[in-house]
A and B are shown apart, each in its own frame.
Chain A
């Protein structure tokens, strides 16, 4: 397959580049100084595009590659791929579905433990050389706390399953009650927040869920309640959360996402009741490599005329 030209749109994984280099004639779109010359010279040999959530295959790219047969995307979302145009031209499209769930759920539990048990603060304290015997600041136990989950989809369910092993009673809010779920349902976020110790945002961001965590919800969660966000920044009215944390109107927060990433409100930097992460919930080396293997596997299947592993079009 060495003669087959594969165009990668964006630097997404060095492991993926290495694996593609081994098998195909790989072109790196972001490295090309003269794109027009490149397309004139090579467009006839490029039979596959590897895209991701930042740069996929739009109509213009598709039309400039007359030999294109397949778009093998390194992401679950395909909003940067013109699916209709692909379908029309008989170009196959694949994605990497359902690979993030476990990583996000793992980090949600990690954030709960780090926030309630003050692990990052402990680590700062030791590194600053402040540890003296006799210090005995107590933290909050995690096992047995009531966990309330907003959005009981794949990620919310994976979080619930993990928290159950810590003997945490689980309740949830979602647009409609899930009859197949054994967890306690609340028809409003305020009611859920009033009833739980740890409130976790795990729903998709839509017009309806924007600022789903507002002043009223924060007040319902109360001074002993903790908030965890592994969803999206705009789920939370951030200025309201910041003032609640500064004024200790809630006990603490573990945040992986923010409204204006990569900018995090500086008022939070000095607080010991928050854990602040740079949007890392959905990625691990192992998961990215598994995604890369899936991208390569789809290409190999296509070019050896076998069924695609994860076809979309």
Chain B
């Protein structure tokens, strides 16, 4: 407690950088991450004293720490929470929070923050990049040129037009609504499905993913992964999307039934796919490696220098707010 009071006075004076040397006086925040998730957290040092499990003092700090920073998609389940009996706030660093047991956090009265909108523009940009890439064969024709095939084979096969396509957005949240806005000047018709119809928007609402797919040439999946949305893109939805239909996924791998997706692509029953996420990352079904109508990406839709800088500022803002008892900037509503 003494530590947090100390921080309150330092944050109130708005000079966190000058307190780095006195790191011992800063409140502790446990760094919770997968050992393989190698993301720097040195930015946190001006605000808190970040402690990793490799730290000799970790066994003591984990018992009293009021804050935990979760790096990326590192799972934070009930058994992990048991390790941090004094935790009051979990600072998430990702847009999707399916790796955090929110029900358990609610039960324990722990607050949770997410990346909020820090990644939304990049996620939306990437979704459109993948859509144009699949339609216009950008990655496939880049591969053709680099292989030296242009002088040999002459003309490359034509791609498909972006304009005039009916694009269905699965999950019209912060990323989905930016996707819609960006696609409008391309002359695409926008439809969507989401938990609730958004009456303030002029896009066509469909109550199910199946209805949306039936009325779309391309689907862009950008909803949160929950128990209800797991495999929201199943066999029937992809069949309804059809032979010329295109699936783009920048949400989570488990939103799509990947085995069915691969089967339909192999059988020519789905037109193409742009995939940034997979069910069992970093495993990607090998059948996809030889297809020119798919674009594969290693979960990088939001990985820009600008997005990470924005995220860091947001987490810092959340931590400052937490330790000075002010409203958090991107707190999740766990009582929804």
List A residues at the B interface (Cβ < 8 Å): 102-103, 106-107, 109-111, 113-114, 117-120, 122-127, 129, 131-144, 161-162, 164-167, 261-264, 266, 269, 275-278, 280, 283-288
Closest B residue, CB atoms, query A166: B182
In the complex, what distance in Å separates the CA atom of A264 from the CA atom of B296? 25
Q: Which B156-195 residues have C-beta < 8 A from chain A?
A: 156, 158-164, 181-187
Instruction: Give 5 nearest A-B pairs by CB, closest first.
Output: A113-B129, A110-B132, A286-B161, A141-B306, A126-B296
Given that A102-B163, A123-B295 are contacting pairs, would A141 and B125 also be in contact in the complex, using a CB cutoff of 8 Å? yes
Contacts of A138 in B (CB 8 A): 303-305, 308
Q: Is the CB of B125 within 8 A of A143?
A: yes
Give the contacting residue for A284; candidates B144, B158, B303; CB below 8 A. B158
Give the contacting residue for A113; candidates B132, B142, B186, B307; CB below 8 A. B132
Given that A113-B125, A127-B289, A280-B136 are contacting pairs, would A134 and B150 also be in contact in the complex, using a CB cutoff of 8 Å? no
Q: Is the CB of B307 within 8 A of A122?
A: no
Closest A residue, CB atoms, query B152: A262
Contacts of B19 in A (CB 8 A): none
Name which of A119, A136, A165, A278 has the most chain B CB atoms within 10 A of its CB: A119
Shortest distance between the CB of B31 and any CB in chain A (Å) = 15
Specify the main secondary structure of chain B where it touches its partner: helix
Shortest distance between the CB of B316 and any CB in chain A (Å) = 18
Q: Is the CB of B158 within 8 A of A278?
A: no
Q: Is the CB of B298 within 8 A of A122?
A: yes
**Is residue B78 contacting chain A, with contact meaning CB distance below 8 A?**
no
Closest B residue, CB atoms, query A163: B185
In the complex, what distance in Å separates the CA atom of A164 from the CA atom of B137? 24
Contacts A103-B163, A288-B158 aside, 8 further interface pairs with beta carbons under 8 A come to A102-B187, A106-B161, A113-B133, A118-B300, A141-B305, A166-B125, A277-B138, A278-B145
Contacts of B34 in A (CB 8 A): 133
Contacts of B38 in A (CB 8 A): 134, 136
Shortest distance between the CB of A286 and any CB in chain B (Å) = 4
Contacts of A114 in B (CB 8 A): 129, 132-133, 138-139, 142
Q: Is the CB of A131 within 8 A of B145?
A: no
Shortest distance between the CB of B136 and any CB in chain A (Å) = 6
Contacts of A118 in B (CB 8 A): 300
Name which of B38, B130, B142, B308 has the most chain A CB atoms within 10 A of its CB: B142
Number of interface residues of B (CB under 8 A): 61
List, sorted by A's number, 21 A–B pairs whose CB atoms are closer than 8 Å: A102-B161, A106-B186, A110-B133, A119-B129, A119-B295, A120-B133, A123-B133, A123-B295, A127-B289, A131-B282, A131-B298, A134-B36, A134-B37, A136-B38, A142-B125, A166-B125, A280-B137, A284-B159, A285-B159, A285-B160, A286-B160
In the complex, what distance in Å separates the CA atom of A275 from the CA atom of B128? 17
Closest B residue, CB atoms, query A132: B282
**Is residue B56 contacting chain A, with contact meaning CB distance below 8 A?**
no
Name which of B38, B128, B144, B184 has the most chain A CB atoms within 10 A of its CB: B128
Closest A residue, CB atoms, query B165: A286
**Is residue B328 contacting chain A, with contact meaning CB distance below 8 A?**
no
Q: Is the CB of A144 within 8 A of B121?
A: yes
Q: Is the CB of A113 within 8 A of B126?
A: yes
Closest B residue, CB atoms, query A277: B141
In the complex, what distance in Å separates the CA atom of A264 from the CA atom of B146? 9
In the complex, what distance in Å separates the CA atom of A280 from the CA atom of B143? 14
Q: Is the CB of B159 within 8 A of A139?
A: no
Shortest distance between the CB of B283 and any CB in chain A (Å) = 9
Contacts of B305 in A (CB 8 A): 138-141
**Is residue B258 contacting chain A, with contact meaning CB distance below 8 A?**
no
